Every structure is written in C-alpha cells, then in structure tokens.
Structure 1
Amino acid sequence: MFYMREKSAENILKAYSHLPLNENIDNIFEYLYNNQIISCIDFFPEKRYNQCLIYSYPYTLEFYNNISNKLPGGLFKYVREVLLYAEYPFAQEFFLRIQKSFPLMKKLTVINEKAQINKQCIQSNYDTQYLSIIEYSHLTTLALKEVHDDYMELFLDHTKMCLPNNLFLRVTYHSLERVTHHFQREAKKINCAKLRYLSIYGISSIPEHVKYYFRNTKIYSLK
C-alpha cells in the first residue's frame, strides 16, 4: 500500500530527495507495474495551500481524509473513517458517491461552510425522484460541527437521507436550532428519533424543550 498526502508537489519531491536517483526511479516503476496509482490535486485558497494526494489502488487503509468533490471514484471497502472537506459547496449527488465508494464507513465528518449547490434543482424535481435516498448503513458516528445549515438539513431529512439507528451525532446548538425550527419541526423527527447519543456544542446546559424533542436520546452539552 502506497499513500502520501502533502500540501504541495514540492513537498513530495523533498520527501524522497534523500534517495539515490536510481533507487527513486526503481521504486516508482515497481509501483506503477504492480499497482494502479491514483493522484488528486486540490486547491484551498482560503487556507492558502494546495493538497496533492497520491495512493496505490486498491486502497487498504481504514481512513480517508480531506475528501473533496474531486474524489476519483472507486471502491474503498477497507475504509471505516471518512472526512469530507472543501471550500466550495457539495452537491447532494456527491453524498451518493460517498455511499457507493465507502459502503462500510462507520465514522463521517463533514466540514463545509458553503451553501449546498443544486438545491433548487433538487427541490423542483422532488416529485420525479431526481436523486435516490442516501443511506450509510454502517454509520455509527456523524460529526456536523463545521457545516452550513444546508448539510444538516440534508442529513436530518428522512426523504433524502436514511440514517441508521443508534447513531452518535455531533452538532452546534444554533445550527440545530435553525434546522429544526426551534425544535418544533415534525419533519425532522424521524431521523432525530434514530439518535442514541447527541453532543451539542455551544451551550452549557440542555434546555427542556431540546430534551423533549430528543426524548429517546442521551444528550451532552459542550460549551
């Protein structure tokens, strides 16, 4: 298994600069001959760095971090922990791709503060079932602490996302409050009822109306 994630191609060259030239070339050709080599470059202007990811396929690690819309595709059957990050919006179909590429994923973290794209298109085609319902069958932990409300809206909407039972969800209070319409929204209760644990960031104690909305869930407050 070959895996490397660097902030620039220059760093990759530096990482292997200590090897003799012939040895470097031999290693490269050996991997190219015996494995499929996948590469992906991402640009993050807000954080002012680029990311270059190179790995051999099939991918045998249990984690895959900093996945953006540029995910090359493929089946990652060994991966259990996934982190999605981008400085540009995720479309709903992207989460369907994640479902297909990571069928045994147990932990998912989403970091994206940009509003979801194609939202109007999806809503206008709702009756024609424009997109299939997303289902992460083996998911046990979902972290949505650093996301635009659109993504929490997606994950809590049972018509778009089928969450597994006994899920552990991590969210911020104000985002959850907005998406659930001050914890009064009936449409979100189907997926919310599947939560076993809920960590809410941004409050020191749990209000009674929140406890009532998640009455079958163990809730933790984290200031």
Structure 2
Amino acid sequence: LSIPNIKCFSVHCEQTTNVYHEIIVPFLRRMSNLEKLSLNLDISVRNTFIDGNDLKQNIINHLSLLKRFEFHICSNIYNSNQIHLQSKEDIQHTFRDFKDDQVISYIDHFEEREWRLCHIYLNPEKLRYYYLVTNHFPGGLFTCVRKITLKEEHPFEHEFFLRIAQSFPFITFLTIENSKSQNNKLSKESENNNQVCSTIKYPYLTALTLYFAHDDYIEEFLIHTKICLPDNTVHINIYLEQLERVTYNFTRDATRINCAKLRSLCLNGYRLPEYAKNYFPNV
C-alpha cells in the first residue's frame, strides 16, 4: 500500500540492521510523494557494500519527487577475506552522478576479524550517529554526534585523539577498543613537559569506556599533560587491574590530576580499595 501523505522522512538508528533490502527499502518505496529523505544506518550485508548504484536502483529511481537525500550508511561484511569486494575507488565512482553534493566514502578492513566496513556519507554537520571510527577516518566536523566508538587493529597515536577532539567537538560518550600499544609512546612519554605533545581537551565528555583498551590509551586520558578532562563530570568504565597498573597502584603523580576530576567509576563489579579513595576525591 502506498503512503502518499509523507513528504519528509528520516531513519536514524544506532543499532545494526540486517533487513535493509527486505524491510527498509520496500517501506521507503511506498512513500510515493517523498521529497526529503535522511538515512543514518549501520547495515549488515552479505556480498557487496551499499554504494551509489544501490541507492539509485533501490531508492532514488523509485521516488520521482525526491529533492533532497541525505545519508550516512555504514555497511559491514563479515568473512570478507573470502569475498571480492569493491575498492574505495569503485565505491566513489558510483557517486559520479551525485552532482550537487560531495559524497565521502572510505573502507575499513579488520583483517584479524575478517571484517570490512564501508562508510558513505555527505553533510557531516547534520549526522547524528557515527558508528565506528578508525585510523582511516578522513576528518570533518560532526557537531551533532555525541557518541562514538574508536576501534582498531593498529595503534592509535596521540595525534589521532587530537583529530577526534577536533572532528567531534561535542562528544559526550566515548568508547575505545584497541589492544595494540602505541608506536610513538616513548617520544612523548615525559609527563612534566607540556611541549612534548599538545594537550587535548574533551570539554563535554561525560562517559569513557576503556574495558577493551590497551594501557597506553588509558594513560592518554589519565595523564593530564596528554588529555585535559573536564572537572567532576566524567564517569569511567574500566577494570580495576587496568586502573592499578596505569596509576602505579594509585601513587602516580602524572595521573593524579585527572583522577581527581573523575565523578564516578565502574570497576566491573569491584570496589575501589579504601586506601585509594583519596586518589579519587570526587568519586
């Protein structure tokens, strides 16, 4: 059945969907008078990434009155090492007819997991969700995004966190998943010299999850000369043993200032030792 009364429609979803072609596309086609469409989706696909050809064949060509189409689609494929997939150049070429907008596309490859992701989007300033951020992230300004996950099989260097702070200036929820140690840690290890590396600010950060982060990235956020945390607003999810290692069992001066700023901790079911409570006066 047609849904002729809808002229403007948006789908913004944080969760991954595997029913894009089966449910979402047929539903959109029913909106015969649609003039403006916005899609912000994370899509699990089997054999091929969502690209410009897919959008034209399955959506645009069926909505003759469509005047404005905004999207950020992250399509992901598992067991990708066994499949011949489009390259970044192949993907970008499918948007050659999208003359009014500059479509950004890039591909992430997680070799250990046999998992690939393809991002296609335009108008970064209007996007509400950005599903995964890796070292391949091309930058841009995403003023509406409040929650991101940084995930990689290769190290995040200090400069990467600066790019993230600049691209997502209003980020409040941040998760880091990376088990690889930093390559350039030693060149900026001095904890008493601000000139070694620029201090990064995340002024709106309220929640930081570090369960699957290497100790180097915990240091990034707890050593105050690397990242300056806002006062008494940040909650951290972290394993107690991680916290003990990075703070030298709650004696390290370099992490003391940021730890004193923390509002709360979740230690995966454990309680903060009594002798450590002075190290976290606001927790």
Structure 2 residue runs without a partner (length 5+) = 1-37, 70-93
Q: Call closer, same or farther: CA 1:183–1:5 in 2, change over 3 Å.
A: same
Instruction: Give the counterpart letter for 1:73 in structure 2.
Output: G
1:11-22 to 2 correspondence within 5 Å? 11-12=49-50, 16=54, 19=57
Instruction: Give the counterpart letter for 2:48 in structure 1.
Output: E
1:1-223 to 2 correspondence within 5 Å? 1-3=38-40, 5-6=42-43, 10-12=48-50, 16=54, 19=57, 23=61, 32-123=98-189, 127=193, 129-165=195-231, 166-201=233-268, 203=270, 205-217=271-283
Distance 1:120 1:29 in 2: 43
Aligned residues: 214
Instruction: Give the counterpart letter for 2:227 in structure 1.
Output: M
Q: Call closer, same or farther: CA 1:127–1:180 in 2, change over 3 Å.
A: closer
Q: Which has the larger radius of gyration?
A: 2
Structure 1 residue 2: deviation in Å?
4.8
Q: Call closer, same or farther: CA 1:159–1:18 in 2, change over 3 Å.
A: closer
Structure 1 residue 137: deviation in Å?
0.9
SS of residue in 2 equivalent to 1:41: strand
Deviations 1:12-59 (A, max 9, x none): 26x9499469828x9876982232211110110111111111111234
Structure 1 residue runs without a partner (length 5+) = 218-223
Q: Call closer, same or farther: CA 1:172–1:54 in 2, change over 3 Å.
A: same
Q: Call closer, same or farther: CA 1:119–1:35 in 2, change over 3 Å.
A: same
Structure 1 residue 78: deviation in Å?
1.1
When the two structures are superposed, what TM-score results if normalisation uses the length of structure 2?
A: 0.67
SS of residue in 1 equivalent to 2:99: helix
Deviations 1:79-117 (A, max 9, x none): 111111001100100000011111111111111110012
Instruction: Give the counterpart letter for 2:256 in structure 1.
Output: K
Q: Call closer, same or farther: CA 1:206–1:159 in 2, change over 3 Å.
A: closer
| Percent identity between the two aligned chains | 41
The answer to whether the 8 A contact 1:60-1:78 is kept is yes
Structure 1 residue 61: deviation in Å?
2.4
Greater strand fraction, Structure 1 or Structure 2: 1
